[in-house]
Amino acid sequence: MLRTSHLLRRTLAAALLMLLGACGAQDPELPWREVQLNEARMLAYFPCEPEVARTPVDFGMGDGPVMVSMMGCDAIDSTYAISHWLLDDAERADDALAFWQAAVLTKLKAVDGKNFKSGAPFVPAGAMPLSRSIQATVEGEGAAGWTMTTHGVWFARKEGDKARIIHAVIYAPKPYHDLARQFFDRLVLLDE
Q: Tell me: the pLDDT tens digits for 84-117? A: 999 999 999 999 999 999 888 877 777 777 777 8
Could you tell me the residue ranges of all domains in the chain? 30-189
Please, what is the average pLDDT of the chain?
83
pLDDT band at 25 (very low <50, low <70, confident <90, very high): very low
Cβ neighbours for 163, distance < 8 A, ≥ 6 positions apart: 86, 87, 89, 90, 92, 93, 96, 128, 156, 157
Alpha helices by DSSP H, the chain: 2-25, 93-105, 177-185
Q: What pLDDT, in 10s, does the model give residues 59-76?
A: 888 889 999 999 999 998
Q: What pLDDT, in 10s, does the model give residues 143-189?
A: 677 888 999 999 999 999 999 999 999 999 999 999 999 999 999 99
Cβ neighbours for 111, distance < 8 A, ≥ 6 positions apart: 118, 137, 138, 139, 149, 175
Is 70 exceeded by the pLDDT of residue 82?
yes
CB 5 within 8 A of CB 13: no
Angle at alpha carbon of residue 117, lines to 115 and 120, rounded to 5°: 115
**62 — alpha (psi -120 to 50), left (phi > 0) or beta?**
left
Please tell me whether residue 143 adopts helix, strand or coil conformation: coil
pTM, full prediction: 0.81
pLDDT of residue 170: 95
Cβ neighbours for 27, distance < 8 A, ≥ 6 positions apart: 176, 177, 178, 179
Residue type, 84: H
Is 70 exceeded by the pLDDT of residue 13?
no
CATH class of 30-189: alpha beta
Q: What pLDDT, in 10s, does the model give residues 130-154?
A: 999 999 998 887 667 788 899 999 9
